[in-house]
Amino acid sequence: MIALTVLGSGTVAPTPERTSPAHWVEAGDARILFDCGAGTLHRAASFDVAWHTATHVALTHFHPDHWAELPAFLFALRWGIEPSRQDPLVLFGPVGLSARLASLAAAFGEWITEPEFPLEVVELEAGTAREIASDVVLETCKTPHTDESMAYAVRHAGRRLVYTGDTGESAKLAEWAADCDLMLCECSLPEERAVPLHLTPRQAGALARKGRARLLVLTHMYPVFGTTDPTSVAREEFAGEIVAATDGSRFTIEGP
């Protein structure tokens, strides 16, 4: 089984309903926080997610809405729980992560890179796959958004969840995501506000169709959507099940 809790379904644009990107995935013995934008910790507390038990954090890219709360997350592991953390944490991210953490340490203190628990920093190249727990594999794919941006997939017990992160249209991403059980897909802007390096609902639907996803979950929505329903537009391209995530949405992919 793979379980997903959407902590932040929004963007850098603040609204009361949606905080910045953060997604909690449980698979076997792995508990993975995908991205760590503003609001992550308080949303996790609101939704009764055991954020302090994370085994891994995986960052898609370095725009601040996707990782700006990481220093607070690491700080909270030391001072925000009792007893403070002793278990190891693995931090995944694109190439350049170590240098950025060093800059944060210069600003905040050495506890960023040397907390009082074992911290392993792993820079991943796109196109890699590695086992992160028993029968849990983390995979990566390049996305057209920033130079470093990547999508992630989690495989466990014959099931696969794909998180696109921020992306534009990509045939390579669709091929890589093929036959996933759940596609957690960015859906930033309505059709009339389309830009090259983000997806509209129709483009997200097309990605899910080409990737033969079983369930499409839309996330990373700017407030310009207002009260309109992006699923109705995505459905013009994708005949499968579609859900527009909100902060607190939960999904379960059952095993075979």
Average pLDDT, the chain: 97
The pLDDT tens digits of the residues spanning 173-211 come to 999 999 999 999 999 999 999 999 999 999 999 999 999
Give the chain's length. 256
Copy the structure tokens of residue 173. 């991403």
Q: Break the chain into its structural domains and give their ranges.
A: 2-253
The pLDDT tens digits of the residues spanning 59-96 come to 999 999 999 999 999 999 999 999 889 999 999 999 99
The pLDDT tens digits of the residues spanning 17-60 come to 999 999 999 999 999 999 999 999 999 999 999 999 999 999 99
Domain 2-253 has CATH 2.60.40.10: no
Of 46, 21, 33, nearest to 77 by C-alpha is 33
Torsion of CA 82, 85, 87, 89, to 10 degrees: 140
